[in-house]
Amino acid sequence: MSINLYMFHGGTNFGFMSGAFAVGMPAPKAMVTNYDYDAPLSEAGDYTTKYHLLRNVFSQYHAQPLTVLPPHQDRRAYQPVSVQQHLSLWVSLQFSDKAFKSERPVSMENLPVNNNNGQSYGYTLYETTISSEGTLNSKNNIRDRALVYVDKHFVGVLDYKTQELAVPYGKGKRTLSLLVENCGRVNYGKTLDEQRKGLVGDIELNKNPLRDFVIHSLDMKPGFVNRLEGTGHWISLRQRPSFPAFFQAKLYVNSSPKDTFIKLPGWGKGVVFINGRNLGRYWSVGPQQTLYVPGPWLQRGNNQVTVFEEQETDGRIQFSSRPDYGMSVDVQ
């Protein structure tokens, strides 16, 4: 008899590596950063009730006693830290790869970046000039979610469900910006060859296709994050931030670093970086409410916490010794 467990050990989709479920097509459902999977061993390697129950069952089929379990690893709920400074996304563009000009929209995978290998993950910013108000229609060509701005003022969100937005009245020529997020690719099923991200076709204003784009690749790799940390363009939080923006805080660890979980109850949606490493995405809509921080990613002394936030923050970063994956339900 052979027994297989999927998953035996939970995990984490660090960075932008969370995929998507091929359900409700053509609108796939994005996966959360956590991949705990209600496994016998948790995301952080803890023993669960399920683990002990399985161990008791399996022990009945062993002639010899099972080996002694390794000790439980300590977790640490560090004291909350406050954001010290912020940097507007618009200012950060000067530290990204050189912008690319194109008459028509180009998907992130086809951008001439990363030695012409294209962009794989993260965000892509598309900007063009408009001279009228009216109805912006995505024609369902946004993959997967876009924040829309006119002259850096937030207008709304376009995604699979919302495909039209009203562009307000304004005088003269204005800059229309679409910050498009790749929320995760489906990696199985019949749509594997339909996983291009960014703008995958025309966007229309008053039924006229928009043209002449300036495109910024924002894959937020460690090099980009490190360049941001070293710049002198950061502004004290005493000045109200404009969104989207990057926020910096310091976590001081006075002893051997331990695993912990970041909580951001006063934030909206974005990405967390610890000492330049991409922990993953968070979103207040849930269900996941914490991000796992492995102890080896921390260091004794000061640790740089950088958060990219799309729309709102209370300026506080909290920590917990336990994860919060949201409400648990029984799947029938």
pLDDT of residue 214: 98
Mean pLDDT of 56-66: 89
pLDDT in tens, 68-77: 999 989 999 9
Q: Are 276 and 226 in contact (CB under 8 A)?
A: yes
Higher-pLDDT residue of 251 and 21 is: 251
pLDDT band at 140 (very low <50, low <70, confident <90, very high): very high
Instruction: Give the Cα separation of 16 and 206 in Å (integer).
Output: 34
Residue 47 sits at φ, ψ, to 5 deg, of -75, 140
pLDDT of 24: 63
Query: Burial, 273: exposed, middle or buried (Cβ in 10 Å; 0-12, 13-18, 19+)?
Result: buried
> What 3-state DSSP class applies to 85?
strand
Q: What is the pTM of this model?
A: 0.94
Q: What is the pLDDT of residue 331?
A: 41
Say what percent of the chain tops pLDDT 70.
97
User: Within a 13 Å sphere around the CA of 69, how many CA atoms are in the beta-carbon half?
Assistant: 12
Q: Encode pLDDT of 283-303 as tens digits.
A: 999 999 999 999 999 999 999
- Residue 95 in contact with residue 246, Cβ under 8 Å? no
Does residue 208 register a pLDDT over 90?
yes
pLDDT greater than 70 at residue 26: no
- Tokens 């929209």 — which residue? 105
For 218-274, what is each residue's pLDDT tens digit?
999 999 999 998 899 999 988 999 999 999 999 999 999 999 999 999 999 999 999
**For residue 204, what pLDDT is reported?**
98
Q: How far is the C-alpha of 72 from the C-alpha of 325, rounded, in Å?
A: 21
How far is residue 329's CA from residue 302's CA, in Å, rounded to a whole number?
39
Euclidean distance between CA atoms 330 and 253, whole angstroms:
39
Gap between the Cα atoms of 240 and 238, Å rounded: 6
Distance of CA 289 to CAs 149, 268, 286, Å? 28, 11, 6
pLDDT in the model for residue 329: 54
Query: Tell me, what's the pLDDT at 25?
Result: 63
The whole-number average pLDDT for the span 137-147 is: 97
Instruction: Write down the pLDDT at residue 27.
Output: 78
HSE-up of 320 (CA within 13 Å, CB side)?
A: 14
Residue 210, both tokens? 């928009």
DSSP for 45-69 reads S-B-HHHHHHHHHHHTT-SSPPPPP
Whole-number Å distance between alpha carbons of 332 and 156: 37
> Number of helices (H) and strands (E), helices first, in the chain?
3, 26
How many whole angstroms separate alpha carbon 14 and alpha carbon 29? 18
Whether pLDDT at 125 is above 80: yes
- DSSP-assigned states of every residue in 262-314: EE-TT--EEEEEETTEEEEEEETT-S--EEEE-GGG--SEEEEEEEEESS---
Domains along the chain? 11-59 (no CATH), 81-89+221-320 (2.60.120.260), 90-218 (2.60.120.260)
Question: Are the C-beta atoms of 200 and 209 separated by less than 8 Å?
Answer: no
**% residues pLDDT > 90 (the chain):** 85
pLDDT digits (tens, 9 = 90+) for 216-225: 999 999 999 9
Q: What is the mean pLDDT of the chain?
A: 94
pLDDT band (50, 70, 90) for residue 332: very low
* Amino acid identity, position 191: T
Residue with tokens 């291009």: 196
Average the pLDDT over each of 71-85, 157-171, 314-328 and give the range with the smallest value.
Answer: 314-328
Residue 249: strand, helix, or coil: strand
> Is the pLDDT score of 17 beyond 70?
yes
pLDDT at position 3 is 82
Alpha carbons 46 and 259: distance in angstroms, whole number: 11
CA angle 268, 270, 272 (to 5 degrees): 120
Question: Where do we find the tokens 């709304």?
Answer: 156
